[in-house]
Each structure stands twice: as structure tokens, then as C-alpha cells.
Amino acid sequence: MEFGVERIHAERSKAVLVGAGATALTTQPPEEACEFTLDDVPFGTAYFDRWSDGSFSPRGDGPTGVTVDGTPVLAMSVSGMLAMKEQFPHLRNGRPRRQKDIADIEILRGLAGSRRLCPMHAPEDRGKRAR
């Protein structure tokens, strides 16, 4: 599970999670994300505002309300997560997609019910019509 956190709250969220018993790992660049384990369960925080050249879904889908263990929280929408995953390789600090990213994109497209939610699609999508 990955939690999207505004960059200005990075240290505070890390302190809260460590205070609750999570172990912070040093596997990610600290300006981008932090991975944790708690009771052998891996999870992480990613700072959604770390790149100025990213944009999210043109549909305007903002965070969506969900419940985690009885507590209401905001979560990134499916279209927002899809937009982020599709754009990442094209951003200034982006990197090539991993196999996990490719699988995630296909799952998110299925959940969204559409392949054309984001202006920047994977190279294999360019020139194809939306379903």
C-alpha cells in the first residue's frame, strides 16, 4: 500500500508512523518517498507534489473518501493514480516503467473502465483509439 502525502508533511508523517511502531527504510530518495514495514507488512509514503511538471487527470477527479479500519481518510482516485503512473516516465525526473508499473497501469485502466483518462499515455498507446 502506498499513501500519497503532501511533501510539506513528509517528516511529520514519518514521525507519526515510526511512533506507531513502523520501521522506516532507507530504500527511496528522501525527497520522493519513504518505505516502511510494520509487523512484516511493507507500505510506503510517496510525495505527490514532488514534481512541478506533472499533472493529474483532466477529468478533475480529486481525492476520494474511503474508510481504513473504520477511520475516514482521503485517497487518490483511480484516475489520479492512473495519470500519475502513465506520466511518470515522461517527467523531468521520471524513469522507465518497471514490470510492476505496467501491471499496475493495466489494473487501473480496468478499474477506471477507460484507457483515455490522461493526456500522456504509454508509448504503446499512442495512435490508438480509446476503447
Domain 1-50 carries which CATH code?
A: 3.30.720
CB contact set of 108 (below 8 Å; sequence gap of 6+): 78, 81, 82, 85
pTM: 0.53
pLDDT tens, residue by residue, 69-127:
888 877 777 888 888 888 888 877 788 998 989 999 999 999 888 544 444 444 444 44
Hey, what's the cell of 98?
518497471
Residue 95 buriedness (CB in 10 A; 0-12 / 13-18 / 19+): exposed
Judged against a pLDDT cut of 90, whether residue 36 lies above it is answered with yes
pLDDT of residue 117: 43
- Average pLDDT (16-27) is 95
Quote the DSSP letter at residue 22: P
Sequence ranges of the domains in the chain? 1-50, 55-122
